[in-house]
Amino acid sequence: MQEKTTQIRLNNLEESYTFDKVARQADGSVLYRQGKAVLLATVAVEEKRVEEYFLPLTVQYLERAYAAAKIPGGFVKRESKPSDFEILTSRIVDRSLRPLFPEGFAYPTVVTVMVLSADPEVDLQVAALHAANAALLVSSVPVTRSIAAVRLGKREGEILINPMRSEMEESELDLLLVGSGEELLMIEMAARATERFEDLPELDALMGPAPILLPHQQSNEIDEKELVEIIGKGLKPITEACRHYEIEFLSLKKPALSLPEASEQSDELVEIIRKEFGPQIAEALDGLSKSERGDLMDRLVKEAEAFLHKAGYTVEKLELFKAIETVKKERVRSMILDQGLRADGRRLDEVRPISIETNFLPGVHGSCLFTRGETQALVTATLGEAKEGQMYELLTERSPRTERFMVHYNFPPFCVAEARPIGAPSRRELGHGYLAKRALEPVIDRELGETIRLVSEILESNGSSSMATVCGGALALVSAEIEIASLVAGVAMGLVKEKDRHAILTDIMGLEDQDGDMDFKVAGTAKGITAMQMDIKLGGLDLAILEEALMQAKRARMEILDLMEEARKTIAPSGALPIAEHFHIDPSKIVHVIGKAGSTIREIIEKFEVKIDMDREKGRVKVTGDEREKVQAARKHIEEIASREEPKVPEYEVGQVYEGVVKRMVDFGLFVELPGGFDALLHVSKMPGKKVSDFRIGDRIEVKVLDQKGRKVELALPEYTQS
């Protein structure tokens, strides 16, 4: 195939795809350009199929520091461990491509996307998705459907389609849609908090009738119906893009790899299992716990092996496992669709029993043990200073950022009865922690200036542990006395769909996730949704079913929030908590709290034995200490200083010479107390023939007033003449 370049302009994107120019030994490759961004996407496929019962697909997204004209930071000047953004982007690409692969495809496949040149305004996740999609469509993998991605934002009521990254900074919504044709395959959504200025009545009382306007964070939860409407606006661009991609790329496709044909023996084996072991499979599913169900299924495999051997059948264990899984899946789905019942006996819209224990750990700042069915999360909250935040780098930014709200999710093997040691966090753990962070972040006041770390230890898992992390995390924040706008709850939804029939499941367990057609996680407050994540296994989802699932999830969320509100009443402050007071003063009064050369603030710190952090621009003050009485007394003292009226500045005659007293000496001049008690600066540049060291504190000197503008009085020695 000769080198070919295709230009596509759609959905506010100008993309260029070049084939057969680089990486020509890969099974499929493309050089993708958008703006200054250049990405290389490749597909490599093993010739020999695996025998395991899964799709052997690996996706990796890699950023090179040279792409942004940077040298890697740290001691080792070489890219090594992938960043969180690289891992999360790899997961997004993987989850989007996986539904395209045909059932039975078992050739190990690796999709690699490398960023060779970066552009600060280009959405690299959308670019990576489109580049990987193009490489897959021209490869020998038997995929003939294209995907397309659209990122939607919302700013002042206007919906933005594939906005630039700088525009997304001001957006109230971050919604990434991936679809194929007219069907949705994946959704990633997060509400984004924005700043708003509001009148603070409690400050009005201190500072007079003029309103004090200070910035406050506003959470932007989104209503279910509005979200469906916005998603609908993203479907048309996806459909149009998919059509263009298929026309342009499929004509370049290599001969497709063969798929294994279903053998008569496989069909016969399924029929034997269905007939001989159907009742045992039903018994293993009905009303048992996860561990009991697993024990029964293990015994069932051994019994089936013995039965088939006695009957003269020679069957590989993998084929037997596939047959049993097929019959099990049929049973699970028929119960749901035909009887409206689930394996554990619940109704389709029923949430599993929930128990909540707050103040679970006495020695931590905040904690909550949240148990829902057989899923259990122990979530702790730890407070730290601003300097304790996690520094990280983004490829497209020159300076590092600091993350001051972290959610770390741990999934130890014992939580699913696996006998192996705990290792480094997996991609899944990172992704689940990030989802919980996005759900909780909009309700946390970002301006508090502290670092908050949530850690979720999953102690037992049978579905929806990330949503248990959200629920337990919200209560752990309250337990740590962190101010949040409202509680956040999450629930995982499922779907079983056969032709024209479908059933939506609330609070799915692992079995329903495995044998169902959708994993749909929704988190939010009583006002609306803060975060959402959806993966489809059946090839797509229409909007009517999506809206039905969202409304059913809302009812479950409200039920869970009611239980959480009851648990909130039992929370008592932890004895391990640092004692802190957060309040506002007029930003112009900060200078009086600090005092001359910091004398006033040092006096407060020493007198009350506290630490004080202040934001000069916004007037935020944080006082911390070991004794509540002293912290509160320090706050009262600071508020008294801020409420004092400023002394009037005497009117001095310009050009007149006055006798003053040297009160303070600095490198750049002297602070001289004038008649009337006002201190003004005599700058070294206005002391002809003299140096600062020629004077002593307490010296009486004559100074001339050169100018006065309000509280600013400009001084000079009498012999100084202006040039």
The 10s digit of each residue's pLDDT in 317-351 is: 777 878 888 888 888 888 899 988 888 889 999 99
Beta bridge partners of 66: none
Walk across the sheet containing 610-614 and list its strands: 579-584, 620-625, 610-614
pLDDT number for residue 582: 80
What residue spans of 581-667 are helical by DSSP H? 590-594, 599-608, 628-643
Task: Round to whole Å and give the CA distance between 675 and 652.
Answer: 9
Residue 217 predicted with pLDDT over 60: no
User: Does residue 69 lie within any of the structural domains?
Assistant: yes
Q: What is the mean pLDDT of residues 457-467?
A: 94
Same domain membership, residue 411 and residue 327:
no
- Token pair belonging to 713: 């009085």
Number of H helices, E strands in the chain: 15, 31
Residue listed under structure tokens 């648990």: 567
Write the CB contacts of 523 (distance below 8 Å, at least 6 apart in sequence). 435, 436, 439, 467, 470, 488, 489, 490, 491, 529, 530, 531, 532, 557
Residue 24 lies in a domain: yes
Q: In the prediction, which pLDDT does 198 show?
A: 42
pLDDT tens digit string along 75-120? 888 988 899 999 999 999 999 999 899 888 889 999 999 999 999 9
The token duo for 249 is 């790329």
Q: What letter represents residue 212's amino acid? A: I
Q: State the Rg of the chain over Cα.
A: 33
3-state SS record for 10-72: ECCEEEEEEECCCCCCCCEEEEEEECCEEEEEEEEECCCCCCCCCCCEEEEEEECHHHHCCCC
Half-sphere exposure for 276 (CA within 13 Å, toward CB) = 17
One domain for residues 132 and 269: no
What pLDDT sits at residue 207?
A: 34
Taking the alpha carbons at both ends of the chain, their separation in whole angstroms is 79
Which one of 542, 568, 594 terminates a domain?
568
Regarding whether 397 and 374 lie in a shared domain, the answer is: yes
387: in domain? yes
| Portion of the chain with pLDDT greater than 90, in percent | 55
* Secondary element (H or E) of residue 238: helix 224-249
From residue 339, how far is each of 331, 345, 346, 503 by CA, in Å? 11, 11, 11, 11
- Domain final residue, candidates 621, 643, 665: 643
Calpha distance 520→273 (Å, rounded): 32
**What does the block give as tokens for 444?**
């946390």
What is the model's pLDDT at position 170? 87
540 vs 217: CA distance, rounded Å: 36
Q: Quick one: pLDDT at residue 313?
A: 77
Does residue 236 have a pLDDT over 50?
yes
In total, how many domains does the chain have?
5
At 89 the pLDDT is 97
Residues 140 and 23 in one domain: yes
CATH of the domain at 151: 3.30.230.70
The number of C-alpha atoms within 13 Å of 130 and in the hemisphere containing its C-beta is 35
Give the whole-angstrom CA distance, residue 610 versus residue 630.
8
Residue 649, domain member (yes or no)? no
**What is the average per-residue pLDDT within 621-648?**
86
Q: Are residues 473 and 500 in the same domain?
A: yes
What is the per-residue pLDDT for 293? 65
**Residue 511: domain span:** 354-568
From the list 677, 676, 671, the residue with the least C-alpha distance to 715 is 671
> Within this chain, do residues 633 and 710 fall inside the same structural domain, yes or no?
no
Statement to judge: residues 25 and 162 lie in one domain: yes
447 and 467 co-located in one domain: yes
Question: H or E segment at 310?
Answer: helix 290-310
205 or 23, which is more confident: 23
Helices 543-568 and 224-249, axial angle in degrees (round to 10): 140
Which DSSP letter does residue 444 get? B
The residue out of 593, 612, 643 marking a domain boundary is 643
For residue 619, give the CATH number of its domain. 3.30.1370.10
Determine the Cα–Cα distance for residues 648 and 651; give it in Å rounded to an integer. 9
Closest by CA position to 79, among listed 98, 63, 103: 63
Q: Is the pLDDT of residue 150 over 70?
A: yes
Neighbour tally for 609: CB within 10 Å: 13
Q: Does 652 fall in a domain?
A: no
Please state whether beta strands 13-19 and 4-10 pair in parallel, antiparallel, or not at all (unpaired).
antiparallel
Regarding whether 583 and 552 lie in a shared domain, the answer is: no
Mean residue pLDDT of the chain comes to 88
510 touches 462 (CB < 8 A): yes
Q: What pLDDT is attached to residue 196?
A: 44
Residues 316 and 229 in one domain: no
Q: What is the CATH number of the domain that holds 689?
A: 2.40.50.140
Return the structure tokens found at 151.
Answer: 């990122």
Structural element, H or E, at residue 429: helix 427-440
pLDDT class of 263 with cuts at 50, 70, 90: low
Q: With respect to residue 711, please indicate whether it lies within any of the assigned structural domains.
A: yes
Per-residue pLDDT at 579: 82
Same domain? 98 vs 180: yes
Shared-domain flag, residues 147 and 34: yes
Decide if 346 is inside a domain. Answer: no
Residue 258 lies in a domain: no
